[in-house]
Amino acid sequence: MCGIVGYVGKRDAYEILIKGLHRLEYRGYDSAGIALISDNNDLVVYKTKGKVINLENHTADLNRSGKIGIAHTRWATHGEPNDINAHPHFSGSKSLALIHNGIIENYKPLKEELIAQGKTFVSDTDTEVLIQLIEYIQESHNCDLFTAVQMALNSVVGAYAIAIINKNDPETMIVARKGSPLIIGIGEDDFFIGSDATPIVEYTDKVIYLEEEQIAKINLKEGLKITDLKNIETTPIINKLNINISQLEKAGYEHFMLKEIFEQPESLINTLKGRLKIDTKEVKLSGIIDNVEKFRKARRIIICACGTSWHAALIGKYIIEELARIPVEVEYSSEFRYRNPIIYDDDIVIAISQSGETADTLAAIVLAKSKGAFLFGICNVVGSSIPRATHSGAYTHVGPEIGVASTKAFTAQLSTLFLIALSIAHERKTISNEYFESLVDELQTIPDKIREILKLNEQIKNFAKTFTYAKNFIYLGRGYNYPVALEGALKLKEISYIHAEGYPAAEMKHGPIALIDEELPVVVIATKNGNYDKIVSNIEEIKARKGYVISIVTKGDTQVKNISNFSFEIPDTADCFVPILSVIPLQLLSYHIATAKNRDVDQPRNLAKSVTVE
């Protein structure tokens, strides 16, 4: 969602900010803007609806000088996406400019109070209320800006990451966070800010992750001062970034999504590295080892997640229950957090989140923590909010995922869940040593098997062109392949805007079968595992109604192939690892249908990569 970038230093800020905005585009946005204190000491704000390139065109002949500035990509919440509602927002006197991620929930009463005090507003946003409030406090209390920001933040309800610059103090930026991430990069003789590391990594690998309810004054000469909202000062911890700039480039691929699909063999090796020990036949996940008693004795595991991560969670349930024999419940974070769930103190709550910032998942674990559960995070973005809020966890280590539609992060979440299930099963002795060792061996072969599936790319590309006409798709699977059907359908609708639904294959008879005709493509994941015969019958039912069947089958299969209109073969593997293979052709199918329809694959309309508002 919204993205923040800022610079204070000796270089021209504009280029750094625009480049930063491009780096943040992947998060999803609908307008962009920039504020600079120009060399002749004017505070200028430029903003436009649409892409960052519009902002660049708009500013081409304007004054873009200045060594300090803030810039923003906005994903509209309060007020439609237009030039006026875009950030930055001025204060009434136009001395201050603010950018903001998050939502100020009590903006209405605050706005009414400010209007009663004579303030006027130009936009429909909650953000403008905040900057007007800050200036009003500054004027009415005759205090400095830092104090005014502290006081204002003490009276707002909601989530924010903010950055403010002040025309009257052109070497200072004030930033703060609660519920939305904010990172400060420490350069040689300058400072950078970002809502994630992508706009910063090019300039420095030294960063400070601002903590909840912290506010920082960044001054070129005095350096950094960080306090909480009660003005208690803290010494920041400087972390080292472990991403590099090449991970943020397309490396010759047409889209980040395709690059990330093709990265999967390598990214899985990174997830498994140091954790899957083939020579000693061991699985070593420090997050489990350090808390082994908790996992051994867990009464239940609850997994909270959203979107694609929720599909990974569902596969996690199947494998943990099958191997480790602990009951697992899978929850949409947004439902869990608001329904007063029953949580026991010997429950383990696992949060799965690529970004580590999804607002609902963060709130779900905060709730579970308050009820005494042990929290374990499976996240990709190092240093993000969810891993910092959990007791323990495992990073997926696949580097930045830029395409909005999750691919390599999903398969990395699956491999992490496989490792977790295997470790707990081994500890609880719920599977034999022989079976454990055979799964360890098999898991190691998965990257090569994915490589083999990726060879289908050209074939899938040619085949995909056939479906640009389709208005609907159905995806079916059973057992481990049921969540894959959900994920396949989600991938297609996210990036092609074709309506698609996934179902457990047997549920087809309870409704979706009514939709089947010659026009409706039905993707059936029919690999040779537990429910093979049942799924063959489901395909027969579709064929009897003249449905068009695209099947994903195990290499060498003839039965399903013969009754399908089109099939893609994937290598055989253990039942529980099938999803990590069967999802790959579905990722490619969605990608190629979407590109054949000329969709903006990496930044599909209305979607955000990191959903930081509920």
Q: Which residues bind ligand G6P (CB under 6 A)?
A: 306-309, 353-355, 358, 361, 404-406, 607, 609-611
Q: Which amino acid type is present at position 383?
A: G
Q: Residue 496 is which amino acid?
A: S
Is 361 or 587 the residue whose CB approaches ligand G6P more closely? Answer: 361
Which residue, 9 or 181, has its beta carbon nearer to ligand G6P? 181
And the tokens for 123? 């936009």
Beta bridge partners of residue 161, listed in sequence order: 101, 177
Strand 276-277 relative to strand 191-194, pairing: unpaired
- Bridge-partner residues for 206, per DSSP? 240
Q: What are 544's two structure tokens?
A: 């009897």
Distance CA 486, CA 500 (A): 9
Query: Is 2 among the residues known to form the active site?
Result: yes
Strands 374-379 and 392-395: parallel
* 1 and 608 Cβ atoms separated by less than 8 Å: yes
Whether residue 1 contacts residue 612, with contact meaning beta carbons closer than 8 Å, is answered with yes
Helices (H) then strands (E): counts for the chain: 20, 27
Tokens of 323: 């191997």
- Of 308 and 531, nearer to ligand G6P (C-beta) is 308
CA distance 28 to 544: 43
Question: What amino acid occupies position 535?
Answer: I
| Residue 112 CB neighbour total at 10 angstroms | 11
Which residue lies nearer to ligand G6P by CB, 560 or 611? 611
Dump strand ranges (E) for 325-402: 328-332, 347-353, 374-379, 392-395
Of the two residues 261 and 560, which places its CB atom closer to ligand G6P in the complex? Answer: 261
User: What's the Cα-to-Cα distance from 62 to each of 53, 65, 201, 295, 545, rounded to whole Å?
Assistant: 15, 9, 28, 60, 63
Determine which one of 2, 304, 306, 379 is catalytic: 2
Give me the catalytic one of 49, 259, 493, 609: 609
- Output the residue with the shortest Cβ distance to ligand G6P: 307
Name the minimum Å distance from CB 405 to ligand G6P. 6
Q: How far is the CB of 401 from ligand G6P (least distance, A)?
A: 8
Minimum separation from the CB atom of position 351 to ligand G6P (A)? 8
Contact between 17 and 211 (Cβ < 8 Å): no
CA dihedral 357, 360, 365, 370 (to 10 degrees): 130
**Which residue number, 172 or 590, has a Cβ lying nearer to ligand G6P?**
590
* Shorter beta-carbon distance to ligand G6P: residue 6 or 393: 393
Beta strands in 290-411 (DSSP E): 300-305, 328-332, 347-353, 374-379, 392-395
Kindly state the smallest distance separating residue 333's Cβ from ligand G6P, in Å: 8
Opening angle at CA 552, ends 546 and 553, nearest 5: 105
Q: What is the DSSP letter of 217?
A: E
Compute the least distance from the CB of residue 454 to ligand G6P, in Å.
21
Q: Which amino acid is at 277?
A: K
**Strand spans (E) along 472-547:** 472-477, 499-504, 521-525
Q: How far is the CB of 345 from ligand G6P (least distance, A)?
A: 26
Q: Please, what is the minimum distance in Å from the beta carbon of residue 28 to ligand G6P? A: 7
Q: Which is nearer to ligand G6P, 308 or 392 (CB)?
A: 308
Query: Least distance (Å) from ligand G6P to the CB of residue 603?
Result: 11
Q: Which of 77, 78, 86, 73 is nearest to 29 (CA)?
A: 73
Please give the distance of CA 320 from its chain centroid, rounded to a whole number. 24
With respect to ligand G6P, which residue has the nearer C-beta, 315 or 505?
Answer: 315
Rounded least distance, CB 598 to ligand G6P, Å: 20
Judge whether 491 counts as a catalytic residue.
Answer: no
Q: Which of 567, 597, 566 is nearest to 471 (CA)?
A: 597
Return the active site residues. 2, 609
